[in-house]
Structure formats: C-alpha cells, structure tokens
Amino acid sequence: MNMMRRYIAPFKKYLWGSVGLNILSAVFNIFSFAMIVPMLRILFRMTDQTYAFTPWNEVWHLPFKDMGASVMQNVYHMLEANIAQYGEIRVLLVLCLFLILMTALKTACYFGSSAVMIPIRTGIVKNLRKKIYDKILALPLGFFSEEKKGDIIARMSGDVQEVENSVTGSLEMLIKNPILILIYFIALVVISWQMTAFTIIFAPLMIWAMGVIGKNLKKKSLDVQNLWSDVMSQVEETLGGLRVIKAFIAEKKMSARFEGVTEAMRKKSARVSMRQALAHPVSEFLGTVLITIALFFGGTLILKGHSIIDAPIFIYYMVILYSIINPIKDFSKASYAIPKGMASMERINKILDAENNITETSKPEKLDGFNDRIAFEHVSFSYPDGTKMILDDINLEIPKGATIAIVGASGAGKTTLVDLIPRFYDPIKGVIKIDGTPLTDVRIADLRNLIGNVNQESILFNDTIFNNIAFGVENASLERVIEAAKIANAHEFIMEKEGGYDFVIGDRGVKLSGGQRQRISIARAILKNPPILILDEATASLDTESEKTVQEALDRLMSARTTVAIAHRLSTIRGANEIIVLDEGKIVERGTHEELLALNGHYRKLHDMQAL
C-alpha cells in the first residue's frame, strides 16, 4: 500500500474533493430521509401530542443521548406551529419539496465525488505504466537475460490493468464507504442509541464472514497473474517463431502447449472469481439478518409500548440502517478486489524494485571525446548465476584509430567482451579504462555517445526509414540522413520504396531484406558519427552479394575510426591492426593475420575450416 500512496500523492486535491463531496452526500441523504418522519406524522395524524421547545443554545449542551431527542422535539414544535398557521396540506407540500431539494443535492454531490475520482484512476495507471517503461529503459541488459519478454509485457499490460480494476477501482469505495458508514452510524446513535447498541453486537459476525471468504485471495490472484505471464510469453514466442513452427509442422504441438497453460489459468481464475462472486450474496444475506434483528427488536419495543422509540422514528431508523448496509457491502467488495490488485502490484514491483548495478558515481567525470586508448586490465566476467566464467583475466589495449578484430568459436565470449565497452555489463574483476579513466568513473551517456554499434541482427523499429536512420540524433536534417544513406549504399534501394525515406519498414524491418536492414543500421551509425565503432558479426547472416555491398559500406564507416570488430568470416578482417583469438573466455592468440597463420594454432584452424 505504500507504493499506492506514492502514486496517489500527486492527486491529493482530487482526493480531498472526493472526501468533502462524500461527506455532503451523506449529510444530505440523512436530511432527505429525515423528512419521512414528519410526513408520516402528518399523514397518519399523529401530531396531537404537544412538543416542548428547548432553546437551541441549550440543546448543544445536553448529554449526547438526550441531544437527538431534543432536536426532534424542536423540529416537531416548529411543524406544529406551521400546521396551525398554514394547514397540514401546505406543510406537507413544503416537506415534499424539501425532500426533492435534499435528494437533488445528495445526487449532485454523489456524482461529483465519482467524477473527481476519474483523474485519480486514469492518472495513477498512466504514471504506473510510464514508471515501468522508464525502468525497463534504465535496467541493464543482464536483467532481461533472466526474464522472459512475454512476462514483462504481461506485467505492463495485464498486471497494470488489474491494479486499475482492483486497487484504483476500489479507491472510491475506500474513500466513500467509511465516510458513509461513520455518518450513518452517528445518525443511528442519535436516533436511538439503545437499538444501535443492540444491533452492533452482530457486526463482528459480518466482518468474520468476509474475512473467511477473502482468505488466501491474494495468493490465488498471484498464481493467476503468473499463469497470465506464461500465456503472454508463449504468444510472444509463437509470433517470433512462426516460420520454424510451420516448417516443422508443429502447429498441433504448440496449440496443445497453449491449451495446457490457458486451462491451468482458467481453473485458477475460476476459483478466484468464485470467491469474489460469493462476496455479494453473503453480504446481502448477512445484511438482511442484521435488518431483521433490528426489525424484531424495535418492533417488540413498539408493540410493548416502550417510550424508547415510536413508529415514525422506527421507520426512519430502519431506512438509515438499510442505507448503512450498502456501503458495508461495497466495502466488502473492495476488501476482495484489493488483494487481487496487490498481487499484481507485487509482480510490478519486481521490475520497479529491480536493482540497476550499472550506476554512476556521485560526481562522474565528463568525457568530451576519445583521445588515446581503451584498456582492459585483468578483466573477468560471469553472469549472475556464476556457473561459468565467460571472460577470464582479459588484458587488451585498443589504441585510437586502430582496428581490433575478435575471433573465436561460438560461446568464446566475443560479444560479452565488446558489451563491456559501452557498459552494458560491468566486469566482476579488473577494470576497463578509456583514456586512463575507469569506465565506472565517467558519465554513461558521454561514454555511449562516443560509440556506434552495428550488430549481426539489425535492430530496427516499426517506423519510417528516415526515423530509423535518425534514431538517437537530435534534429537530424533530411540532407544529412540522405548523405549517411549514400555512404552506406542504401540511398538507391530507399528511393525505390514507396514514399522513399517516409517508407514504414514494419515490425523489426520485416519489409526489407537482410542486406537492406543492415545498410540502414550502418547509415544510422554513420549519421551518429562516433569515434569508436563496434561491429558484432555485421555481415555474418548475409548472402555473398549483400555481404559485398554491406562490406563496402562498413569500410567507409570504419575509415578514420577506432573499430572493434567481431568477425565470423576471417576474410573481412585481414587488414586489422591486431586480431584477438578467444577460446573459452581467454585470449589464446593475438597478432596480425600473417603472424597468427604462422603460429599454426587456433586461428590457423579457423582459417583452414573456412578455406575448405
């Protein structure tokens, strides 16, 4: 609930507005029902009794148990005087008009109290989604290697929706119902404290019954949301793997797998819904029991001629008592809904409270440019599970203007090594320095601003070609984008597309070929114009013709830049200043292409395999 208080805080003015309007609504409701008593007295001609008038300044000093009776005595005294002066029919008409006025004021305040809650509900949900999205952007890549994308999507969609429906949807009830219950209870005590004292004895029974029904609801709701994450994860996997599913004729297998997850979710959800559905009839039954007890006790007093309460007052009491039952029932609904929402909030908090270990010092050094070298000094790295050392005691220098190639078998640690340079991860041992300053001491934004990436898998967005090339570059002009595209050998195919640079490329660039996607990525890096370039097997997945075109673009991009290139095809890195050979996280060989061939070791083996 502390988390929810944080999100409610910006909307305090609406919250206080709702409180004030709900108080007015309850007060007007009591006054409107109070009109029933004098109307009954007039209609059934029960006004023969003479009522003494107590000065108002004396009424407020009476004991609480006598105050209500004195107020009613004064009201009846004034009614008697008006009936004597204007007649019963005119007084009855005035009472009816007053009832209409009180009801109009009550309903207006009721509407107002609901209306001011709308900005709170919509605002909390919007802020919550924005908070999650910003946290996703801020978290290190290591967090997402441990989490399923479908699960994260489920938390941002289904869990936030559940918080909206359950918690924020119950906010109005949590504000309104305690106010109504308190004011109606005070009214019941004023009308007849004896009957109220008798009736309230049975209230703990209702609270106990509600608690039994709501027991374990939060845990069951958490299970449902976890299964919803499994559903979303399978949908996300299916969309990403449709080509493989169809190629292996695995539609029935995937359908059966999905059926299993959704059936498990259906069963859990049914149990939660059953408990929620039980709330209303149980509270309805217990409310009727409470009304019946009061009816029997009060009716017995009247029939026996006790002076505690008369018939019109008893009817008024029963109306108010019935009015207090509805907010109690709504309160019980909220007590079931909130555990569901809090279960979802726990899942959301797993993202919001996730630790970001890629942090800056309190006063990071500003990095204006790249002037000398990047140095790895005894760097080791393993993922959080710690089961395997991915990099082991790496010592490496990357001088400014040099091209350093990294080769090795799959799983040797090549991508992890280059991911340490922009601080996507931090080493567990050793230090990486840029121009003599540890990366942990410089501003992350300054560091990443010096680096351009071109990956094996072109990461593009469902947007126009222009916006994909200009991604991350503020106020990029069309002329600069076109110039970058020309250097990347992309301008010609772009102009063949409908709309040219305004052509929308689809999800992850699905409307473009692999070579075209890669050239868009290269154009993006060219436009950024970084002094340091990281190429992660940028041509590995391309056919020969596309590779040639892309390699030409890469050669232009690499010109006069410091380049760290992960190479799959050794022919593309023959001209590198130094080639680093990794094997099981260790540097086993290093040197130029000719030097490494002469060693007749790992590099020679990789070279000969590709020469076959």
Best CA proximity match to 552, nearest among 592, 562, 542 = 542
- CB of 97 closer than 8 Å to CB of 105: no
List, for residues 297-319, the tens digit of each pLDDT value.
Answer: 777 777 776 656 677 777 778 88
Question: What is the number of alpha carbons within 13 Å of residue 262 lying toward its C-beta?
Answer: 9
Helix 88-115 to helix 36-43 angle (10° resolution) is 160
Between 58 and 496, residue with greater pLDDT:
496
- Give kind and range of the element (H or E) at residue 452: strand 451-455
The beta strands (E) that lie in 528-577 are given as 532-536, 562-566
What is the overall mean pLDDT for the chain?
Answer: 79
| Collapsed DSSP state (helix, strand, coil) of residue 430 | strand
List, for residues 455-476, the tens digit of each pLDDT value.
Answer: 777 788 888 999 999 887 888 8
The whole-angstrom distance between residue 374's C-alpha and the CA centroid of its chain comes to: 39
| Collapsed DSSP state (helix, strand, coil) of residue 304 | coil
pLDDT band at 544 (very low <50, low <70, confident <90, very high): low
Between 234 and 339, residue with greater pLDDT:
234
| pLDDT confidence of residue 394 | 92
- CB of 440 closer than 8 Å to CB of 361: yes
| pLDDT confidence of residue 567 | 81
The whole-angstrom distance between residue 60's C-alpha and the CA centroid of its chain comes to: 52
Cβ-based neighbour number of residue 418 at 10 Å: 21
The DSSP line for 62-124 is S-HHHHHHHHHHHHHHHHHHHHHHH-HHHHHHHHHHHHHHHHHHHHHHHHHHHHTTHHHHHHH
| Residue burial 495-508, b: 16+ Cβ < 10 Å; e: rest | eebeeebebebeee
Contacts for 583-589: CB closer than 8 Å, 24+ residues apart? 583/408, 583/409, 583/412, 584/392, 584/411, 584/412, 584/413, 585/389, 585/390, 585/391, 585/392, 585/412, 585/413, 586/392, 586/393, 586/394, 587/394, 587/395, 587/396
pTM above 0.85, yes or no: no
- CB of 566 closer than 8 Å to CB of 406: yes
| Residue burial 575-589, b: 16+ Cβ < 10 Å; e: rest | ebebbbbbbebbbeb
Between 590 and 332, residue with greater pLDDT:
590
- Whole-number Å distance between alpha carbons of 452 and 491: 20
Best CA proximity match to 452, nearest among 371, 564, 328, 552 = 564
551 - beta bridge partners?
none
What tokens were used for 409?
A: 């078998």
Q: Which residue, chain included where needed, has tokens 């726990």?
A: 346
Would the pLDDT of 541 be above 60? no
- CB of 573 closer than 8 Å to CB of 601: no
Average confidence (pLDDT) over 168-181: 76
Between 308 and 236, residue with greater pLDDT:
236
The arrangement of strands across the sheet holding 586-591 comes to: 451-455, 532-536, 562-566, 403-408, 578-583, 586-591
Would the pLDDT of 546 be above 80? no
| pLDDT confidence of residue 441 | 92
What tokens were used for 140?
A: 């290190």
Would the pLDDT of 542 be above 70? no
583 - beta bridge partners?
586
Amino acid at 411: G
- CB of 226 closer than 8 Å to CB of 154: no
Q: Where in the chain is the domain with CATH 1.20.1560.10?
A: 2-352
Strands 532-536 and 562-566: parallel
pLDDT band at 431 (very low <50, low <70, confident <90, very high): very high
> Which residues are CB-neighbours of 481 under 8 A, at least 6 positions away?
466, 469, 470, 501, 523, 527
Domain 373-611 has CATH 3.40.50.300: yes
| Collapsed DSSP state (helix, strand, coil) of residue 367 | coil
Using CB atoms within 10 Å of the CB of residue 540, give its burial: 0 to 12 exposed, 13 to 18 middle, 19+ buried: middle
Q: Which residue, chain included where needed, has tokens 């309903």?
A: 107
Greatest mean pLDDT among 167-181, 441-455, 550-564 lies in 441-455
Q: For the structural domain made of 2-352, what CATH number should be given?
A: 1.20.1560.10
pLDDT band at 580 (very low <50, low <70, confident <90, very high): very high
Would the pLDDT of 608 be above 70? yes
Would the pLDDT of 116 be above 90? no
Best CA proximity match to 433, nearest among 398, 389, 392 = 398
- Whole-number Å distance between alpha carbons of 513 and 453: 20
Would the pLDDT of 84 be above 70? yes
| pLDDT confidence of residue 358 | 84
- Whole-number Å distance between alpha carbons of 446 and 452: 12
Cβ-based neighbour number of residue 325 at 10 Å: 19
| pLDDT confidence of residue 103 | 84
- Whole-number Å distance between alpha carbons of 326 and 564: 70
Between 199 and 203, residue with greater pLDDT:
199
Q: Where in the chain is the domain with CATH 3.40.50.300?
A: 373-611
List, for residues 379-413, the tens digit of each pLDDT value.
Answer: 999 877 666 788 999 999 999 989 899 998 888 88
- CB of 40 closer than 8 Å to CB of 33: no
- Whole-number Å distance between alpha carbons of 249 and 255: 12
Average confidence (pLDDT) over 490-515: 88
- CB of 73 closer than 8 Å to CB of 126: no
- Whole-number Å distance between alpha carbons of 7 and 131: 10
- Whole-number Å distance between alpha carbons of 157 and 139: 19
pLDDT band at 374 (very low <50, low <70, confident <90, very high): very high
| pLDDT confidence of residue 249 | 79
Best CA proximity match to 417, nearest among 402, 429, 427 = 427
